[in-house]
Structure 1
Amino acid sequence: MNNILVTTEDKITTITINRPSKLNALNKETIAELSEAIDSAEDDENTRVIILTGSGEKAFVAGADIAEFADFSPEQGKELAAHGQEILFNKVENCSKPVIAAVNGFALGGGLELAMSAHFRIASDNARVGLPEVSLGVIPGYGGTQRLPQLVGKGRAMEMIMTAGMIDAATAHSYGLVNHVVTQEELISTCEKIAGKIMRNSPVAIGAAIDAVNAGYIDGVDGYQAEIDCFGASFGTDDFKEGTTAFLEKRKAEF
């Protein structure tokens, strides 16, 4: 892996985008490495939660590597977006293990799109986020036009996309785009603390909850029916037996 660092400790896998000289910009190789790292973490029995972050104190991911596609044709552009969405952004969103984005600075363009594909976001107080694509004569292509309105509402998303401007961490928090804002020093420990709370619960149930929540955002899918199906399936799991037995026996469940 040339562009990312992966560490696993206490059942938390931290994936760090490590291109500090490029402010961690996403190029083709980095996207492929991230895709592989998400697959590995999802398959790893020793991983319960994934934290995604950027190296250094300036940027989470300051966008895509524009030099890579500046001379693309419409067909190549379409393929770039489709391939990226499939191998990384949709994969992060549908990962059966919780993915927390630790936004440690600039999250612009593809960087904000990556953070939005995570299950939720924690930002450092120096974070600045935005989708500047229209200033380059293009639009967000890695899910930004879909996920931003889901998170902040249509009007705010339209304004952010049309102005191509950045908002600070406090504004992102007031919009509901990030769940918490903390200092740079507290960022990873805050994510780990939340991960600790998540890890007390059933990993099987959490995976099912991710599926059920995401179902509500898929065209043509009845989210309520997906919830009913996932709820019913839970009754056939060992985690359900353990969780309910532990509750009735007044002890802590061991998942």
Structure 2
Amino acid sequence: MSLENTNGSLETSFNNAIATVQFGHPASNSFPRQLLDRLTAEINSLSRNENVSVIILKSEGAKAFCSGASFDELLQVENEEQGTEFFSGFAHLLNAMRNCNKLIIGRVQGKAVGGGVGIISACDYTFATILSDVKLSELAIGIGPFVIEPAVSRKIGKTAMAEMTLAPEKWKTAEWAFNKGLYSVLCDAANLDWEVNNFAEKLSSYNPEALYEMKKIIWEGTENWESLLFERATITGKLVLSDFSRNALMQFKK
């Protein structure tokens, strides 16, 4: 299955019990709202697919994994309602990944910023390379990583999350991210696909019911995300309208 337009691309392929979902966008694999919605719908669909037991989530290209929200769409937000609606896209996606009946393996080939770090954090097991540096740049554009914070903090802890957030212009190395627990495995770029596929094949050979029960255990204690992430989207939707945010976004775009 393939969907492609100016709002990005989304492709899903199947190999036995493994579904590989690849998203892409010309702007460093950023996410306009439509692409967020399409990925969320695909995760929900695969969750209901009885022939799938493992999902590999990846992005296209050999460079950036994901640069987060689309700056072009952020600049188009004109009121709080539109802002909340836009950032709710990430809330819907993170909840879809959390609620998915299948284990999700992240394949991170390059750098990730903002929402991209949130998506990595919502994966159940993640492979990355030494090129997979990360950054939470939201404060620099007048907002904060409020929607993705619960996912990031759950993965690396509040202290490491704050360390990233309060230095929004500083990249954290892939090795730092691995040591903090954001990545499960750090490998050479040349071996990334082999490592991911080999692990997925082994995982998909296990009892699907056992995998499902393990998924539920992994995500215990996150039930409040159904409301929390949308409350955070409201905060971000308001802040993105500030003069500070507007000016910063224009500078970033230039």
Tell me whether 1:4 sits opposite 2:10 in the alignment.
yes
Aligned 1:196-207 pairs, distance under 5 A: 196-207=201-212
CA distance in 2, matches of 1:25, 1:50: 21
Higher relative contact order (CA 8 A, sep 6+): 2
Identity %: 25
Alignment-derived partner of residue 237 in structure 2: none
Distance 1:75 1:29, change over 3 A: closer
Amino acid at match of 1:191: V
Pick aligned residue for 1:59 from 60, 64, 76: 64
Q: Deviations over 1:51-84 (max 9, x none)?
A: 1111111011112111102242233222322343
> Unaligned regions of 5+ residues in structure 2, if any?
226-254
On the 8 A contact 2:117/2:152 being kept in 1, the answer is no
Deviation at 1:14? Answer: 0.9
Tell me whether 1:188 sits opposite 2:193 in the alignment.
yes
Pick aligned residue for 2:37 from 21, 29, 32: 32
> Unaligned regions of 5+ residues in structure 1, if any?
221-255
On the 8 A contact 2:138/2:144 being kept in 1, the answer is yes
- What is the DSSP-based 3-state SS (H/G/I as helix, E as strand, rest coil) of the residue aligned with 2:166? helix
What RMSD, in angstroms, separates the aligned Cα atoms of the two structures? Answer: 1.8
Alignment-derived partner of residue 146 in structure 1: 150
CA distance in 2, matches of 1:36, 1:218: 20
The structure with more radius of gyration:
1
CA distance in 2, matches of 1:83, 1:54: 18
On the 8 A contact 1:57/1:184 being kept in 2, the answer is no
CA distance in 1, matches of 2:108, 2:10: 16
Count of residue pairs the alignment pairs up: 217
- In the superposition, the TM-score normalised over structure 2's length comes to 0.79
CA distance in 2, matches of 1:189, 1:57: 15
Distance 1:158 1:79, change over 3 A: same
Alignment-derived partner of residue 174 in structure 2: 169
Tell me whether 1:75 sits opposite 2:91 in the alignment.
no
- What is the DSSP-based 3-state SS (H/G/I as helix, E as strand, rest coil) of the residue aligned with 2:75? coil
Alignment-derived partner of residue 243 in structure 2: none
Alignment-derived partner of residue 84 in structure 1: 90
